[in-house]
Structure 1
């Protein structure tokens, strides 16, 4: 599969690393067009994918991804429409701010388009991506898009009205978890644990707890009850979290982004 991608910022570079890490995509299969900041050039020196400044080079790709800032999406689509002319190559935007309908207004209602929202764990092939397809997309194009994302983790098809909350939960959530792990580690360091060990234990605990929920299918509250013995240390810690508004702060963070 020959993949073309515009942009090598945070999300673009995460996807590039994930594809190459999967070993299903080689550096020679990846064509990248970067921006003015030079991040694509720096990444190319490390990963050895193909780099271009010429849209004509994308005519040889099987699929094209747009991983650039939202204001650039429609202008790049206009450039690609002129470049591609009658050639049909599926195009996927990974920007939250431009809908499939807006993309169709440029490329046409029958063009194979999709809007996807990946999260940064795609770089280790453990991401979760929400995707909205154009209504009339051909099965061959849809399958090609699905395959490209399957290399990066799990793909979930969602409706356009849910892509905002999906992006907030899956896309912003890792930063919330990172803050939580850092705070846990600070608490451990405060009580004498080595910093590197604290980070390792916190990360392993979060990952294994999440996997326990996924594999057992149990409600998070049920799993929490399995740790909280009557009068024990864990329930005392949870009480302290509740006193500080831990749940409300988390809910409010999601709601603040959405509103």
Structure 2
């Protein structure tokens, strides 16, 4: 019997799977996995995962089941597994399938929890939101918190905030990558080599984020500390304000939250 069984090994589930082994939280041989697209499993074969022949084998051979399939197929995937999941624990990262939704889909004996992670989990720098309402045992809930803590930071979030908060942390990396690319493009325009520009932009964002987290200072205060009177930084800030960067980023979150 394996400790954890993965159904679905897409980008997000794959990042988590690789992260928990990289962190040492679990060994590869503690995990069994299946994906309908066999090539998706290539990313974990070298980690020692057992590759299952189908979803039913994953459920039967694991203590806890982790489901990371696309939202449009989750009910089709779960339907033939309902009986097998009785008296088991299910961890889900499927967007839109929270505690209330699983209460309707699963047998009452199936314990379940909804988590919204993000892809930096692959490099042990993820941000995972754990839905406050769940039906796991205390021991299982502790396991989930420790597992996601091994690949980054966690936050236990009330159900009504999972959508907005999850959009910020889940969609946010894509927005940040666009900012990295744009900052690097600006440097390249001024003659900086491309690889150097990406490194400078990425590390600047990593360092800025860490500084805010460790100091707890308001981002505006930290921004002011970089802006000398009449200097180059405040002129760059002016250009960003003219481009409505704040409103644009706020709109990005709102658009993602209300996508149907």
Class of the TM-score when normalised by the shorter of the 2 chains: over 0.9
Query: Which shows bigger deviation, 145-154 or 53-62?
Result: 53-62
Tell whether the 8 Å contact from 2:7 to 2:58 is kept in structure 1 after alignment.
Answer: no
Q: TM-score normalised to the size of structure 1?
A: 0.93
Is contact 1:112–1:141 with CA below 8 Å preserved after alignment? Answer: no
Aligned to 2:88: 89
Which residue does the alignment assign to 2:43?
43
Stretch moving more, 102-111 or 140-149:
102-111
Gaps of 5+ in 2: none
Counterpart position of 1:247: 246
Partner Cα separation in structure 1 for residue 136 and residue 239 of structure 2? 51
Asked if 1:159 is matched to 2:158, the reply is: yes
**Displacement of 1:198:** 0.7
Is 2:25–2:147's contact at 8 Å kept on the other side of the alignment?
no
The count of aligned residue pairs is: 256
Instruction: Tell me how far 1:40 sits from its aligned partner.
Output: 2.7
Cα distance per residue 1:47-83 (max 9 Å; x no partner) = 3311112313433322111100012222333332222
**1:73 corresponds to which residue?**
74
Deviation string, structure 1 residues 99-150 (Cα, Å, up to 9, x no partner): 2112112223453211110000111111111111545432122112222222
**What TM-score do the two structures reach when normalised by structure 2?**
0.92
State how far apart, in whole Å, the 2-side matches of 1:114 and 1:253 are.
28
- Counterpart of 1:189 in structure 2 is 188
| Unpaired stretches in structure 1, ≥5 consecutive residues | none
**Residue 52 of structure 1 corresponds to which residue in structure 2?**
52
Q: 1:57 to 1:10 in 2, by over 3 A?
A: closer
Does the Cα contact within 8 Å between 1:116 and 1:129 map onto a contact in 2? Answer: yes
8 Å contact from structure 1 (residues 68, 95) kept in 2? yes
Aligned residue number for residue 5 of structure 2:
4
Q: Which residue of 2 aligns with 1:16?
A: 17
More displaced stretch, 231-240 vs 127-136: 127-136
Shift of 1:255: 1.1
- Which residue pairs with 1:218 in the alignment? 217
CA–CA distance in structure 1, aligned partners of residues 242 and 46 of structure 2 = 48
What is the CA deviation profile of residues 230-249 of structure 1, one whole-angstrom value per residue up to 9, with x for unaligned ones?
11100000001111111111
Could you tell me which residue of structure 1 aligns to residue 101 of structure 2?
102
CA gap 1:44/1:207 in 2 versus in 1, 3 angstroms:
closer
